[in-house]
Amino acid sequence: MVQLRDDIEHHIVTWAEVHRDTRILVRRLMNTGPWQGIIALTRGGLVPAAIVAREMSIHVVDTLCITTYDEQVKGNLKILKEPEAAMKTGGEGWLLIDDLVDTGTTMKAARERLPNAHFATVYAKPKGLELVDTYVHDVEQEVWVFFPWDTEPQYAHPISEGRS
């Protein structure tokens, strides 16, 4: 069960919204490239990267695995895996996909490793926006976005029961 913090505004994104918004991203990317492949910035970029790969007929998908978060708490940045082929060119000819750029911490680390890649996200917050080349939606900095792969549907008691 997801515990929502009272001090952070939150927005829940559905599977349908992720799919729709990622297809909008694809339309914005159609006249870019050509691309040798896609790099999914994990874990959040995996689902959008799969949609982009399908819609753009790109068959090479790799990952850049960076972790900075433990639920809603920022932690230490760790590089877990780098995309070998893209690293050889600094990302030249590669499209890096993520779900959201937040503070920019992860994107800065990705940019340092792949400065020539094209960075695209579905959602972007102001602090990380300058690190992204293409994106779809602006999100206010103080909003915590819950993606469908981080949540689960569950029963909600009627308001009349006083348990909301």
Catalytic residues: 98-99, 102
d(CA 42, CA 69): 12
Residue 53 and residue 61 in contact, taking contact as beta carbons nearer than 8 Å: yes
Of the candidates 140, 144, 134, which has an alpha carbon nearest to the alpha carbon of residue 107? Answer: 134
Residue 97 and residue 49 in contact, taking contact as beta carbons nearer than 8 Å: yes
Q: If residue 75 lies in a helix (H) or strand (E), which one and from where to where? A: strand 73-81
Can you give the length of the chain in residues?
Answer: 164
Q: How many CB atoms lie within 10 A of CB 97?
A: 29
Residue 83 and residue 97 in contact, taking contact as beta carbons nearer than 8 Å: no
| Secondary structure of residue 162 in the 3-state scheme | coil
